[in-house]
Structures are given as structure tokens and as C-alpha cells.
Amino acid sequence: MSATVNPPVVFTQDELGWVSWIEPLPEAALTERHFAGLVDRARAKSEYFRLLVRDPEVLEARTKTDKDIFYNTADGLPRAERELAAAATSRYNGCIYCASVHARFASTYSKRREDVQKLLDEGVNADLGERWNAVVKASVALAATPIAFGPDNIAELRSAGLDDAEIVDVINGASFFNWANRLMLSLGEPSK
Amino acid sequence: MSTPDIIDTLAGIKPGSALDAIRARRLQARDNAQKSYLSLFEPIDAGDVSLLERAAVAAFVTGLHGESPVATFYREKLAASAGGAALLEAVEAEIARGKTSGPYGSFPSGPLSVENTAGLIYRVSAASKSVLGTRLVAALEHAHLLVFRPRDAASTDMKALLAAGWSNTGIVTFSQLVAFLSFQVRVVSGLRSLAAANA
């Protein structure tokens, strides 16, 4: 845990740090069981992952779920729009850290940095064109409690050109960030 | 895997259906959502969070999302857990008291403050406190925050859990549990909507 924290007060595509509010495991205490949980050994350098690795089995399963939903682009929704679903969910739930990471990815893969910034600046009602609007709206409807996602969202996604497999990628990506946002927001805080 | 896929079961996805084929294209995600469920509800080490605590939190969290096959599943899981029947009534009463609409809460003070939205700051009722005990009271109050106003979370909320007897590792597992359920209930709802649109 670092001495000084400088929390961001706006949504940004800048790189942010993250500081835990409870004790991560020290790197020296990690065993092979923990490294299996981290999946990537390099994640031992991250305070966030050294905290989550306190429950290695759950972290390993969470990480492999995450990677397949976002990185398996053999078919289905383009990576940019999966990242858009993650960024929109994070914007709506209020996770400045998660939004920063996935807004950056959305910008990188879509080459539409200005539109991504518009989502961060104006919020989930920003007009980003039919296809992105449909993805953002579906992600927001899924993030609401009670869940507001329904036939209208599916009709809009279809009308924007998404097939059922791509719609499932939106559902998976947006739903996953309801998992990720809650961990990032509640176990620590971002720092500039 | 011996346990049937929980998301497929709750979403009513039948082997050989169109959605079964679509889910098969993300096999690692499907298998690991299942492993997440098993790691949380059939853990190799329940030392920091008991099975009963997991079941009670799960029934509460999914119940807060409204009536659904997922909420029914976890309510029945709690009822079937050792000691669960004694908690069921209190958990159901707390679900009724805690139901609201989210996400709401406050942003860090600054330009985003105009988006701050007030809402219920849920606390367990006096009547349920004696039934649930200190640890579960703190857990339900924190779970409600995670479900409805995650952006309100602060370091003081971690201190409240620690003070109620939760260990650092227990807090991680418990937070994963609530966060995972937030994912699972949405995937199931989304897949059900898609299946219904094709029916």
C-alpha cells in the first residue's frame, strides 16, 4: 500500500494506478498454488492481483473467464465493441479505474478515440452512432438492478447488424464488468 | 464435469440448441464461469467464509435483483444448507427491506458530483440482527452496497468488515462471491431474453 494516493475525479483514458485498502499477499509469500491463481506470473507485481490471489481458485477461474470473453476473437463481436461494452458498464457503475483501462482498449481497437472520450465525458447517453449506441444501451440495461435488458435491446442490436453470437459477446462482456467493477471499486481505489 | 453447467441450467439452455452452440464458441469462458461457481460454493477451503455464509449472501444478493430462476435457485440452496432453514426467513425479510433500484451513489468530489444520486443506505433490521449474527449482518450490509451503490465503497467499509470478524482473505472471497453473482445473474437474464426473442 503506497503512502500517497491521488484519486482521479473524472473519467479518463490515462493510465492509473490502484491501491488496495486491505492487505495484499507479499510477493515473497506466493506459492505455486498462488501462481496458478495468477495465471500470468507477471501479475505477481500487481497489488490488485496479489490481493485477489488470497483466493487463488476463484481468481484463476475469474481470469480465464475474462480472457476468453475479451481476447477470443476467432469469431463474434470485434474486440473494440467488447471493450466498448466494458467501458460503458464501468462508466455507468462508476468505476473510474476500469473505465480508464477499457476505454483505452476501445480506442486502440476502434481508432475512435474521440467517440470513446465522448462516452467518458458525457456519460452513457452520448450519441456514438447507431451501432455503438445499441451496444452501450444494452450494457447499461444489463448493469441496472433490477436488470432492464430485454427484447428492445435485442431488437436494437440486431437492427445495428449484430447476430446472436455477437449479442452473446455483448451480454458476456457487459455482465463480466459487473463482476470486475465491484471488485475494483470496493477493495481499493485508483490513483493518478 | 460432474455438476451440470449452472448458467445453462438457470438459463434453460438445452444441449444441441442454437444458444448451446454459441456458448460452445467461448468454451473457456463457459468452463471457467462454472469453475468460479464451484470454487465459491464447493471450495477446497471454507475456513475464512463458511458454506452457510456463502449460501446466505447468495440468496440475499440474487433476491435483491428480483424474482428469477437464479434467485429461486439460491434461496433453495440456502434452505438446503446446514443451518440455512433457520436463516431463510430473516434473509427473505431483509431482501424485501433492501430492494431498490441501482446503481446509485456518489462520485469523488469534483466535476462528476452533478451525477451523484441519492438512494437507500441499507442497514439490517434490529429483528434480523440476532438471527444473523455479527458477521452476516456486516456481510449483508456490504453486499447491498456492492449490488446497488458500488461507487460509494470506501476504506471504512473494509474496516467495518474487519471489525465484524472478517479476515482479509474472507473479504476477498466474499467480495468475489457478490461480484460473481452480479455477473451470473446478468448472463442468465441476457441469455433468457435472447432465447425468448427467438422463440
Considering the domain boundaries, does residue B1 fall inside one? no
Q: What is the mean pLDDT of residues A137-148?
A: 98
The residue range of the domain holding B122 is 6-198
Query: Looking at the complex, does the CB of residue A39 fall below 8 Å from at least one CB of chain B?
Result: no
Query: Which segments of B8-161 are extended strands (E)?
Result: none
Which among A22, A92, A147 has CB closest to B65? A147
Instruction: Answer whether residue B1 shows pLDDT above 70.
Output: no
Q: What is the pLDDT of residues B143-182, one digit of tens each?
A: 999 999 999 999 999 999 999 999 999 999 999 999 999 9
- pLDDT for A79 equals 98
Q: What is the mean pLDDT of residues A106-118?
A: 98
Tell me what ipTM this predicted complex has.
0.98
Considering the domain boundaries, does residue B122 fall inside one? yes
Q: CA A153, A155, A159, A164 torsion: positive or negative?
A: positive
On the CB side of A74, how many CA atoms lie within 13 Å of its CA?
Answer: 8
Cell numbers describing residue A68: 476468453
Nearest to B73 by CA among B85, B59, B83: B59
Compute the distance between CA of residue A42 and CA of residue A37 in angstroms, rounded to an integer.
12
Which among B29, B64, B194 has CB closest to A164? B194
List all residues 6 or more positions away from B150 whose beta carbon is below 8 Å from its beta carbon.
A93, A94, A95, A181, A182, A185, A186, B103, B105
Cell numbers describing residue B51: 458454506
Q: What is the mean pLDDT of residues A3-20?
A: 94
Share of chain A above pLDDT 70, in %: 98
Share of chain B above pLDDT 90, in %: 98
Instruction: Answer whether residue A1 shows pLDDT above 60.
Output: no
Provide the 10 A C-beta neighbour count for residue A170: 28
Residues of chain A positioned with their CB less than 8 A from the CB of B54: none
Query: Looking at the complex, does the CB of residue A89 fall below 8 Å from at least one CB of chain B?
Result: no
List all residues 6 or more positions away from B81 whose beta carbon is below 8 Å from its beta carbon.
B51, B52, B55, B56
Considering the domain boundaries, does residue B166 fall inside one? yes
Cα A63 off chain centre by: 12
Query: Looking at the complex, does the CB of residue B107 fall below 8 Å from at least one CB of chain A?
Result: yes
List all residues 6 or more positions away from B48 whose beta carbon is below 8 Å from its beta carbon.
B166, B167, B169, B170, B173
* Letter string b/e over residues A148-167, b meaning 16 or more CB atoms within 10 A of that residue's CB: bbbeebbebbeebebebbbb
A58 burial (CB, 10 Å; 0-12 / 13-18 / 19+) is buried
Structural domains of chain A in order of their starting residue, each with its CATH number: 7-192 (1.20.1290.10)
Q: Is B36's CB within 8 Å of A96's CB?
A: no
Compute the distance between CA of residue A70 and CA of residue A83 in angstroms, rounded to an integer.
7
Are the CB atoms for B123 and A167 separated by under 8 Å? no
Q: What is the pLDDT of residues B55-111, one digit of tens each?
A: 999 999 999 999 999 999 999 999 999 999 999 999 999 999 999 999 999 999 999
Instruction: Answer whether residue A2 shows pLDDT above 90.
Output: no
Query: Which of 109-148 (B) contact A at CB < 8 A?
Result: 109-112, 115, 142, 145-148
pTM, 2 dp: 0.98
Compute the distance between CA of residue B72 and CA of residue B93 in angstroms, rounded to an integer.
15
Considering the domain boundaries, does residue B60 fall inside one? yes
E strand or H helix that includes residue B94: helix B85-98
Please report which confidence band the pLDDT of residue A4 belongs to, taking 50, 70 and 90 as the band edges: confident
Q: What is the mean pLDDT of residues A37-47?
A: 97
Are the CB atoms for B105 and B94 separated by under 8 Å? no
Query: Which of 45-84 (B) contact A at CB < 8 A?
Result: 64-66
- pLDDT for A82 equals 98
Single-letter amino acid, residue B71: A
DSSP A80-149: HHHHHHHHHHHHHHT-HHHHHHHHHHHHHHHS-HHHHHHHHHH-TT----HHHHHHHHHHHHHHSBS---
- How many separate domains does chain B show? 1
User: In whole numbers, what is the pLDDT of chain A averaged over residues?
Assistant: 97
Residues of chain B positioned with their CB less than 8 A from the CB of A21: 155, 158
User: In whole numbers, what is the pLDDT of chain B averaged over residues?
Assistant: 97
Query: Looking at the complex, does the CB of residue A62 fall below 8 Å from at least one CB of chain B?
Result: yes
Residues of chain A positioned with their CB less than 8 A from the CB of B186: 142-143, 147, 149, 171, 174-175, 178
Which among B151, B191, B198 has CB closest to A171? B191
Query: Looking at the complex, does the CB of residue A106 fall below 8 Å from at least one CB of chain B?
Result: no
Rounded to the nearest angstrom, the minimum Cα separation between A10 and chain B is 6
